[in-house]
Amino acid sequence: MPKFIDLVGKKYNKLTVIERAENASSGAVRWKCLCECGNYTIVRAANLKNGAVKSCGCLLHETENKKTHGMSKTRIYQEWNSIKNRCTNPSNKRYEDYGGRGINVCSEWRNDFLSFYNWAVTNGYNDRLTIERKDVDGDYCPENCCWIPLGEQANNRRMNLSIEYNGKTKNLKEWCEELNLNYKRVHNRMFKLGYSFEEAITKPVMTQKRNKEAKNKYG
């Protein structure tokens, strides 16, 4: 009987081991794994360790897609990749604002670049546009997405979220005007540094003279 080694939490290429799965009929140890693309798959321990299996199968699919569409270097492919990444890869810098908030990519797009590509071109894609979700809390899927000029995307719209404070509701810009605060600084504190609204408007501003490092820290 093969020696049992706990692989939970270990990562092999695109696969992270989640839990033990039922043994193969041969008795070989198998593990349930989460693929970077968001799919689960069951893999034999040996195949994980020797690298024979690197993904849920999406890697093969991607490679095939790359071969046939020859578009892996194009901007639209990068856009597709980065959407998937920020929604499914917890080590992505922007994951917190996407996957971490429950935002997903529909399976049709997630598993098939060409499906995304076909939607994009029939909906007016060009290289000066970026993808936008109509509902900023909704998923990346055909019903919720459109193409808009770069620089006008959701992050900007998120600033327009209503903020309730002291019994009044205003958007961020209005609050800053009313409280006579530097909008850029408050925005930066909330969306780059992760402050709550209250922290962002109440934490004292460090002056450059006092401490340069602190200024960087507090924006």
Give me the residues that bind Zn ion (CB under 5 A), please. Answer: 35, 37, 39, 55-56, 58
Q: Distance (Å, rounded) from C-alpha 183 to C-alpha 189?
A: 10
Closer to Zn ion by Cβ: residue 49 or 61: 61
Q: Distance (Å, rounded) from C-alpha 181 to C-alpha 175?
A: 8
Q: Which two tokens stand for residue 164?
A: 């309730």
Closer to Zn ion by Cβ: residue 21 or 176: 21
Q: In whole angstroms, how close is the CB of 1 to Zn ion at the nearest point?
A: 31
CB under 8 Å, gap of 24 or more: what pairs does 201-206 form? 201/175
Q: Distance (Å, rounded) from C-alpha 121 to C-alpha 123?
A: 5
- Bridge partners, residue 35, by sequence: 15
Closer to Zn ion by Cβ: residue 58 or 172: 58
Q: In whole angstroms, how close is the CB of 177 to Zn ion at the nearest point?
A: 47
Q: Which two tokens stand for residue 80?
A: 């597709």
Closer to Zn ion by Cβ: residue 48 or 56: 56
Q: In whole angstroms, how close is the CB of 15 to Zn ion at the nearest point?
A: 8
Q: In whole angstroms, how close is the CB of 58 to Zn ion at the nearest point?
A: 3
Closer to Zn ion by Cβ: residue 37 or 145: 37
Closer to Zn ion by Cβ: residue 62 or 79: 62
Full DSSP string of 188-218: HHHHTS---HHHHHHSPPPPTTT-HHHHHHH
Name the strand (E) or helix (H) holding 46: helix 45-49
Q: In whole angstroms, how close is the CB of 189 to Zn ion at the nearest point?
A: 37
Q: In whole angstroms, how close is the CB of 181 to Zn ion at the nearest point?
A: 45
Angle at 150 between CA 158 and CA 194, to 5 degrees: 30
